[in-house]
Amino acid sequence: KIKAARNFELDAAIVIGYQLYGISCIVSEYAKGETKKHLFEAFVRARQLGGDEARIGLVCCVENPQAVTSEIERDWHTSGQIRVFGRPDLPNLANAMRKWFAGANR
């Protein structure tokens, strides 16, 4: 008998109304490799918990988070579902997340 492991690894889960926001963090400044792998795992876990409408945020140390967000949305066909917060966002991360929460469903 094989048991399926269901270890959910999200650093934070926020529910606003019906919307789940899964947040994952990684200390990496590289857009390729581990950062994308980590984001994909968070994407899968958040969708398992919150369904197809779940939103996923990744907090990392990339210099150009918008470029990573755009690339992922294009490659994974996830328009509006993913937001990468990078080094420029870190000093005001709470405000950046508030803006994301407020505008995620518009």
Segment 20-35 shows an average pLDDT of 80
pLDDT digit string, tens, across residues 65-98: 999 899 999 998 888 899 999 999 999 999 999 9
pLDDT digits (tens, 9 = 90+) for 48-67: 999 999 999 999 999 999 99
Q: Which residues contact 81 (CB under 8 A, 6 or more apart)?
A: 43, 54, 55, 56, 73
Both tokens of 55, joined, read: 């939103």
Residue 48 lies in a domain: yes
- 49 touches 56 (CB < 8 A): no
Whether pLDDT at 1 is above 50: no
Tokens of 19: 């919307």
Residues 6+ apart with CB under 8 A from 62: 28, 29, 30, 31, 35, 68, 84, 86, 87
Give me the pLDDT at residue 31, please: 56
Q: Is residue 99 part of a domain?
A: yes
Q: pTM of this prediction?
A: 0.85
Mean pLDDT score, 1-17: 72
Q: Is 39 a domain residue?
A: yes
In a domain, 36, yes or no: yes
How many independent structural domains does the chain possess?
1
DSSP state of 31: S
Establish if 13 belongs to a structural domain.
no
Q: Flag whether 40 is in a domain.
A: yes
In DSSP terms, 55 is beta-bridged to 21
| Token digits of residue 12 | 């934070």
Query: Domain range for residue 39?
Result: 20-103
- Range with the lowest mean pLDDT among 20-24, 28-32, 56-60? 28-32
